[in-house]
A and B are shown apart, each in its own frame.
Chain A
Amino acid sequence: MLTIQNVSVSYSGIRALRGVTLSVAPGEIFALIGPNGAGKSTLLNAASGLVPLAEGEIRLEGETISGRPAHKVARAGLIQVPEGRRVIAPLTVAENLELGRQAAGIRGTSSADLDQVHSLFPILAERRNQPAGLLSGGQQQMLAIGRALMGRPRVLLLDEPSLGLAPVIIREVFDALVRLNKDGLTILLVEQNAKLALETAHNAAIIEQGRIVHKGAATALAGDPVVADHYFGRAKVDA
């Protein structure tokens, strides 16, 4: 579905990604985990066309999308929910959702997408006329996801959706992601919270210093003593 082939990215001389290769199969949740600064967000931004590739290729359903400007990547069906949610604060909840639909180039006024988002996150229907900037962090995350869904993504990219949210809200957001996935949505998830990510995903990869160091089924990675040592030791204390 989404193939990332030997991708390298440099920021002013510093290599942020070195030959990253991974592939996300249709209908799966793929988690990319790793410490801060490992290159997780860079990979998503490279896939989204915000960051140019130094080498490599990215394909969506066989179509090459690397090299296209960001808005064309989004219109091709690869839509990212950026880190820190980034709702358009002065616009209302309804306007943000409408923006997600129009910006992705979807015509027509069918309310099916909106109904789906509202049933997934009922709070968005309740607060539809409020400025997005006045929502709580969790609600903003729901809005950011809902806004991306309005663009009918073929693959949804999520950058740290749990960041800064209360555990109850994280649960709610991840339950929604699982439900979306069950309805057939392919998801590439970037997370620092390794435990949560591996519980949610089918397959996963671990990235360190711009390289993929482990790759495999999420359950296998969760059971791997090296991975557990690295990522859960701390996570357990934090939780």
Chain B
Amino acid sequence: MLMQQLLNGVVVGSVYGLFALGFQLVFGVNHIMNMAHGTVFMWGAFAGLYAVMLFDVPCPVAVLIGALGGGIVSVVLDWVAFRPLRKRGAPEFSSIVSSIGASLILLSLAQQLTATRVMRFPFDVFPIVVFNFFGLRIQLLQLVIVGIVVLMVVGLLYYLYRTSFGRQIRSVAFSESTSRLLGINPFAINFQVFFISGALAGIAGVLIGIVFNSVHFMMGEPLLLRAFVVIILGGLGSIAGALIAGLLIGIIQTLTVAYLSAGLADAIVFSALFLVLLIRPTGLFGGAAAVARVTRR
């Protein structure tokens, strides 16, 4: 039934949005297309999974550890792959290549670690509770996921727009050299940006791992591809755009799988992208976000 599929789509889509948000943040502030964002997501899921398997931690702790793991991998990635390029003032394209290389390394490390197995969270990691609501089956897990995503987004917006750290991040996003002249430490800003970006990916990783009941070393790659769609659809640099586009894609994908065929999902998602770009080349929210958009001079 349609309502049920829409609900499932919203849940998956909100996690896509969370994933895309971190990608968007790094792109907005550092102008880096971080092709390793999918592997950060995967390592976040791994961190959460291993915490559950090895130390039998409860679900909320696993999510936190996923955030921490994703954040740490992301910060290390910045230090190793991007910071040396920034120091030399290398062109933006170099960082794409660098991030592809880093993602390959992170992928093969994960492959070695897990011997290419598909792993699962234990079935009892999250209690299965189902509410019936006008014939709609709503799982507690789905509510919790949407709740976490909303919390993260509100938290991120608050951090960016209501705190002094966020003000400094927006300042660096606009002009790093001017920010430095005012006394802003760009290293501290990059640390925050990459940690937040990785933590969001890590949380998304644990959640997707629990929802689809599978954690494996390639789990981030299809998401990265969809994150591109989310970001282009939503408009580069727009946080609201990333979220709404994430929801849209989650819904399109779920509906396609339910009513057409699983194999068609990506084809239809990308067709939707081309259609939108034909009508609105700046994405659905690119125009509206252009004024507030984080761009670098």
CB distance A104 to B182 under 8 Å? yes
Which of B174, B177, B186, B294 meets A82, CB within 8 Å? Answer: B177
- Does A208 have its Cβ within 8 Å of any Cβ on chain B? no
- Does A90 have its Cβ within 8 Å of any Cβ on chain B? yes
In the complex with contacts A86-B175, A90-B294, A131-B291, A79-B168 CB distance below 8 A: no
CB distance A48 to B181 under 8 Å? yes
Closest B residue to A100 by CB, please name it.
B182
Least Cβ–Cβ distance between A66 and chain B, in angstroms? 15
CB distance A90 to B174 under 8 Å? yes
Closest A residue to B182 by CB, please name it.
A103
CB distance B177 to A50 under 8 Å? yes
Which B241-297 residues sit within 8 Å CB-CB of chain A? 291-294, 297
- Does B185 have its Cβ within 8 Å of any Cβ on chain A? yes
Alpha-carbon distance between A132 and B109 when the two chains are bound, in angstroms: 47
Alpha-carbon distance between A49 and B292 when the two chains are bound, in angstroms: 30
CB distance A69 to B180 under 8 Å? yes
Least Cβ–Cβ distance between A146 and chain B, in angstroms? 12
Least Cβ–Cβ distance between A129 and chain B, in angstroms? 14
Least Cβ–Cβ distance between B238 and chain A, in angstroms? 13
Least Cβ–Cβ distance between B282 and chain A, in angstroms? 17
Closest A residue to B179 by CB, please name it.
A103
In the complex with contacts A82-B177, A98-B164, A103-B184 CB distance below 8 A: yes
- Does A40 have its Cβ within 8 Å of any Cβ on chain B? no
Which of A82, A95, A133 meets B181, CB within 8 Å? Answer: A82
Alpha-carbon distance between A147 and B175 when the two chains are bound, in angstroms: 15
- Does A89 have its Cβ within 8 Å of any Cβ on chain B? yes
Alpha-carbon distance between A88 and B63 when the two chains are bound, in angstroms: 36
Closest A residue to B174 by CB, please name it.
A88
- Does A206 have its Cβ within 8 Å of any Cβ on chain B? no
Which of B164, B180, B182, B291 meets A90, CB within 8 Å? Answer: B291
- Does B137 have its Cβ within 8 Å of any Cβ on chain A? no
Contacts of B294 in A (CB 8 A): 90
Contacts of B216 in A (CB 8 A): none
Contacts of A49 in B (CB 8 A): 180
Least Cβ–Cβ distance between A103 and chain B, in angstroms? 4
Alpha-carbon distance between A75 and B184 when the two chains are bound, in angstroms: 9
Least Cβ–Cβ distance between B288 and chain A, in angstroms? 14
CB distance B167 to A70 under 8 Å? no
- Does B226 have its Cβ within 8 Å of any Cβ on chain A? no
Least Cβ–Cβ distance between A159 and chain B, in angstroms? 10
- Does B197 have its Cβ within 8 Å of any Cβ on chain A? no
Closest A residue to B297 by CB, please name it.
A86
- Does B127 have its Cβ within 8 Å of any Cβ on chain A? no
- Does A91 have its Cβ within 8 Å of any Cβ on chain B? yes
Which of A71, A88, A100 meets B175, CB within 8 Å? Answer: A88
In the complex with contacts A75-B183, A79-B183, A103-B184, A86-B291 CB distance below 8 A: no
Which of A90, A102, A133 meets B168, CB within 8 Å? Answer: A102
CB distance B168 to A99 under 8 Å? yes
* Interface 1/0 per residue, A67-110 and B, CB below 8 Å: 00111001100011010001011110001001110111100000
- Does A210 have its Cβ within 8 Å of any Cβ on chain B? no
Closest A residue to B178 by CB, please name it.
A86
- Does B74 have its Cβ within 8 Å of any Cβ on chain A? no
- Does A151 have its Cβ within 8 Å of any Cβ on chain B? yes
Which of B167, B178, B180 meets A95, CB within 8 Å? Answer: B167
Alpha-carbon distance between A70 and B177 when the two chains are bound, in angstroms: 9
Closest B residue to A49 by CB, please name it.
B180
Least Cβ–Cβ distance between A44 and chain B, in angstroms? 10
* Interface 1/0 per residue, A20-55 and B, CB below 8 Å: 000000000000000000000000000011100000
- Pairs A-B, 5 closest by C-beta atoms: A74-B183, A70-B180, A103-B182, A103-B183, A104-B183
A contacts, CB < 8 Å to B: 48-50, 69-71, 74-75, 79-80, 82, 86, 88-91, 95, 98-100, 102-105, 131, 133, 147-148, 151
A-B contact pairs, 13 of them (CB 8 A): A49-B180, A71-B182, A71-B184, A71-B186, A79-B182, A80-B181, A82-B178, A88-B175, A91-B171, A98-B164, A99-B184, A102-B167, A103-B182
> Apart from A50-B180, A71-B182, A90-B170, what 7 extra A-B contacts exist at CB < 8 Å?
A49-B180, A91-B167, A91-B171, A91-B174, A103-B184, A105-B183, A133-B291
